[in-house]
Structure 1
Amino acid sequence: MDNHKVSVIIPLYNSSEFIIDTIQSILDQSYQDIEIIIIDDNSTDGSFELAQKFQSGHINVFKNKGKGACAARNYGFELSTGNYIQFLDADDLLSPNKLENQVKLLQEFPNRIAVCSTNHFYDTPESGKITDKDFMFSTDKPSAFLLNLYGANGMFEMVQTSAWLTPRALIDKAGLWDIKLSKDQDGEFFCRVVMASYGICYDPIAINHYRKHRDGMNIASKKQKQHIESQLKALESKERVLLQHDINEKDFKHAMALQYKFIAIEAWPEHKDLSNKAQQKTSVYGGSAYLPILGGSAIEIIKKILGWKSAKSFSNWIHNNKLISKLR
């Protein structure tokens, strides 16, 4: 394997509107020792044909031999030759200094994983917002980073897939993406990778630009039963991985209680069985006071008086009746 090359692995599915800008953000990198591996997952909107136009000595486009983004990432990793792996979603962008800054950090601190802040945007990166600064820091204690991220201090944040740059050896050690997961597969994967590392290197200058979609295309917005089940399985995996290491027990309990409470609220009332299962796990870890804003002033009054389940049920009833009215 090339000791300095970065392999950028892009799973591609029906992203014809964005894929050219995504590829261009890699071509514009100040770091030049790069290969781009695009794995198309049977796109039907011309994405594959657009990507093929960039085919060259260091840009290769393949059809996914499996199914889904996780299988595409695993296939891309199998084909890659770089010592550093950048997973990049087909609609996201990287700041021009992202790879150079993170490679420098990883060369200085071998066996760590590099991360940067994420700018969440809808239309243009300039209109976006960074919300994760309080959760980003360098450390030689991987569990401390993750538990803080998961809510040990009462608040939690996500690190989006493309914010990381990972030494190949850590993926070899931790294992590939779990193709059975349909939501929070990145959180589960990077939990294993982070815990296989010697620590985290944070670069405060580089930026990952994460494109959000108003029509709910982002995986993070999915709430079907299979997605809630995937969230639970992913969290159970994180739980097992962390318990295999020397961790701060108090922080672990706080983080797990909050994470399970979040899923319990997400699942209610559409998937009460999964909500109750998550709530039971919250109780096992001592409970959590976490309560998000569930709606407007009326919903919040119901939450205060009758509890979050009643408020969420009423909010869901209103939403469903609005949909029915639109269909009539």
Structure 2
Amino acid sequence: MFSVIIPLFNKSNYILRTIESVQKQSFQDWEIIVIDDGSTDDGYEKILSLNSKRITLLKKENTGVSASRNLGISKAQFPYIAFLDADDYWHEDYLKLMKKGIELIPNTLIWASSFTKELTGVNVSTKDFEKIDNYFQKDFRNTLFFTSSVIMKKKFFENHPGFKSHLKRGEDLDVWFRAICLGGNLAYCKSSPVYYERGDSTGATKTSFPLKASLLSHILRDDYLLSHEIEPSQYEKFENFKNKFVYLNLIKYASNPENNKEITNILNQITKKNYWVDLVYKLPYKFLILILNNKRGSRLLNRYISYNLKISIF
């Protein structure tokens, strides 16, 4: 039923734990596809030593996580794709829970659960799946789920672009957003059966990429999603969401002067302006840097932006 896609790049310290969390699943209809993206450690050899017929191990030159996931999807034998990063892991009932979600809400393209960053927080509670028709109104900060807590229909990738290799930040969000736009809803469970590992200093979220390689530089473009690719009920919701999404996340790039020109370009693409948030981006650059380089100041600034976007009528 599930093809579990695991991109691997220098995660030797975690990969066996991750694979074991799949092998111990109470629901056993799965295959694992690991794509080694040119690792320089011994992670590949560790998987090879498992000698498991249920694990397909691929190796390629280092071309990034998007290309790795796309390769894995192309080799998948099952109709449902489960994503799992090489340093995260699942509760033993994760796939059982997701199977239940698919049975309860079959008419969507994407199922997701909540997650935890605490070792003691991994659990499968009595919380059930709900169909979220207003995802783009529910949380423009996109904190509901992450890559390792997502299941998607393989047919989405057969009919639409997969993970975009030119995106180095937000390549996963790009896929989720497009799937929700096309499917019209999200199947979501508030249970937290997935552990998100924060301890790896080589993690993608801790790597600096230029703003032009971010989803923020593409999501506002006219050709990002054509109107006929969006479920009619989602069109206006997504238009409002992407403006707020950009306003909120663009600020983290403002501390690098190399991004100034691109930030201005992106802000000019916002169709529905927020006066109070625009004031932040108009602050003198040196003053803005002082705020962003101070933990408390940066936190307060983000709260200010988030609050004004939350109360604004877009």
Q: Shorter-chain TM-score category? A: 0.7 to 0.9
Structure-2 residue corresponding to 1:119: 116
* RMSD of aligned Cα (Å): 3.3
Structure 1 residues 316, 115: CA separation in 2 closer, same or farther (over 3 Å shift)? closer
Check the 8 A contact 1:261/1:288 in 2, yes or no.
Answer: no
- The yes-or-no answer on 1:138 pairing with 2:134 is no
For 2:98 and 2:92, how far apart are their aligned partners in 1? Answer: 12
Structure 1 residues 42, 140: CA separation in 2 closer, same or farther (over 3 Å shift)? same
For 2:52 and 2:87, how far apart are their aligned partners in 1? Answer: 21
- How big is the shift at 1:147? 4.0
Check the 8 A contact 1:223/1:266 in 2, yes or no.
Answer: no
Task: Give the one of 259, 264, 274 matched to 1:276.
Answer: 264
Task: Give the one of 224, 246, 249 matched to 2:209.
Answer: 224
Structure 1 residues 158, 197: CA separation in 2 closer, same or farther (over 3 Å shift)? same
For 1:307 and 1:38, how far apart are their aligned partners in 2? Answer: 46
Q: Which residue identity does 2:34 align to in structure 1?
A: I
- In the TM superposition, 1:199-210 aligns within 5 A as 199-205=185-191, 207-210=193-196
Q: Which residue identity does 2:90 align to in structure 1?
A: L
- The yes-or-no answer on 1:103 pairing with 2:99 is yes
Q: 3-state DSSP class of the match of 1:139?
A: strand
Q: Which residue identity does 1:180 align to in structure 2?
A: H
Check the 8 A contact 2:21/2:89 in 1, yes or no.
Answer: yes
Check the 8 A contact 1:65/1:75 in 2, yes or no.
Answer: no
Structure 1 residues 66, 269: CA separation in 2 closer, same or farther (over 3 Å shift)? closer
- How big is the shift at 1:239? 8.3
Structure-1 residue corresponding to 2:225: 241
- The yes-or-no answer on 1:285 pairing with 2:272 is yes
For 1:101 and 1:7, how far apart are their aligned partners in 2? Answer: 15
- How big is the shift at 1:33? 0.7
Structure-2 residue corresponding to 1:148: 138
Structure-2 residue corresponding to 1:161: 147
- How big is the shift at 1:11? 0.4
Check the 8 A contact 2:170/2:214 in 1, yes or no.
Answer: yes
For 1:308 and 1:63, how far apart are their aligned partners in 2? Answer: 48
Structure-2 residue corresponding to 1:324: none
Structure 1 residues 267, 53: CA separation in 2 closer, same or farther (over 3 Å shift)? same
Q: 3-state DSSP class of the match of 1:138?
A: strand
For 2:221 and 2:48, how far apart are their aligned partners in 1? Answer: 37
- How big is the shift at 1:262? 2.7
Q: Which residue identity does 1:126 align to in structure 2?
A: T
Check the 8 A contact 2:39/2:62 in 1, yes or no.
Answer: no
For 2:166 and 2:150, how far apart are their aligned partners in 1? Answer: 22
Structure-1 residue corresponding to 2:87: 91
**Count of matched residue pairs:** 286
Q: Which residue identity does 1:240 align to in structure 2?
A: Y
For 2:77 and 2:98, how far apart are their aligned partners in 1? Answer: 18
For structure 1, list consecutive stretches of 5 or more residues without a partner in the other structure.
292-302, 320-328
Q: Which runs of 4+ in 1 moved over 3 A?
A: 221-224, 236-240, 247-254, 288-291, 306-311, 315-319
Identity across the alignment (%)? 22
- In the TM superposition, 1:30-49 aligns within 5 A as 30-49=26-45
